[in-house]
Amino acid sequence: MKNITVSVDDDTYRLSRIRAAELDTSVSALVRGYLRDLVGRGAEEVGSETLLEQRRRLLREVVADFEAQGVGLRSIDNLSRDELYDRDRARAETAEEGEGDASL
């Protein structure tokens, strides 16, 4: 097993010792576990999706779902500034929704 020397500020050292004690382990064991995870993740990413690829795929799926449901993402579908801040209209729509719920 190889030794590694790491320099950290006093607060980081103190807090890491406290956290290690809470976990009933040592700071060395925490660092060793972190390095194993770091190396293991790098090897796994070679054959699998990276986080960025996963997010891009999920975004494409959401957009495809919107398109399938007819939900538009076009600027023409956006409310105008006046419509966006029309509080009277919002109150009326909220009241209508409340009346519909009362009949259930």
Count how many domains the chain has: 1
Give the structural domain span for 26.
10-102
Q: For residue 1, tell me if it sits in a domain.
A: no
Domain-embedded: residue 3: no
Query: What's the pTM value of the predicted model, to 2 decimals?
Result: 0.40
- What's the number of CA atoms in the CB half-sphere (13 Å) around residue 39? 6
The per-residue pLDDT for 103 is 52
62 domain residue, yes or no: yes
Residue-level pLDDT at 64 = 85
| Residue 54 belongs to some domain of the structure | yes
Measured CA distances, 61 to 38, 56, 85 (Å): 29, 9, 31
Percent with pLDDT over 90 in the chain: 17
